[in-house]
Amino acid sequence: MKKILLSFAFALVSMFTFAQTGWTVDPMHSSVNFNIKHMGISFVQGRFDKFDGKVTTEGNNLDNAQFSFTVHTASVNTGVEPRDKHLRTADFFDADKFPEMTFESASVTKGKDNSYTLRGKLTIKDVSKEVSIPVTFGGITKNQQGKEVAGIQAKFKVNRLDYNIKYDPTGAGVAKEVEVNAYFELVKK
């Protein structure tokens, strides 16, 4: 009887230890931003106004977490409507044909302090590539409604030509490399 009770207790502890926690992106406290060099002398900044995502963790850290993010390409916003319309065309995002960019994680590696490296598949237009993205974990707290929230920040660069964004392939007017800065506040489900 003692062995049965011990086995039951171990199974119960194991179940709670490996319980998964779901988190969703809070769009009111998150942003997906980019900047790209223009004419070799200045920068154009922009953002995507519509995106969503979810993270599944084991406990209150990013070890073994699973990430899934979607950015809606038609929501590109540089503050200049003619430029935004051009970015939605086949020269750039081809938003009618490819309405979403996605990232799906494959693994997470812990670094020093609150740093992690996400490895996974980034899909833009009709191209999917394996990428490594450095992430900073801001921690967990409670918001004004008493819900647990977590913060993460990712900064990385993408060569747009790798994803069939071939406008100005020389990079003289519009640089080849785009810097992406994503800030996500995640709400525990």
- Full-model pTM: 0.87
Domains of the chain with CATH codes: 20-188 (2.40.128.110)
Which pLDDT tens digit goes with each residue over 39-89? 999 999 999 999 999 999 998 888 899 999 999 999 999 999 999 999 999
Distance CA 139, CA 151 (A): 6
Each residue's pLDDT tens digit, 83-130: 999 999 999 999 999 999 999 999 999 999 999 999 999 999 999 999
* The pLDDT value given to residue 149: 97
The mean per-residue pLDDT over the stretch 159-165 comes to 98
CA distance linking residue 9 with residue 20, whole number of Å: 19
Name the pairing type of β-strands 174-188 and 31-38: antiparallel
Long-range contacts of 93-98 (CB under 8 A, 24+ apart): 93/124, 93/125, 93/165, 94/125, 97/125, 98/73, 98/124, 98/125, 98/126
Residue 82's H or E segment, with its range, is helix 81-87
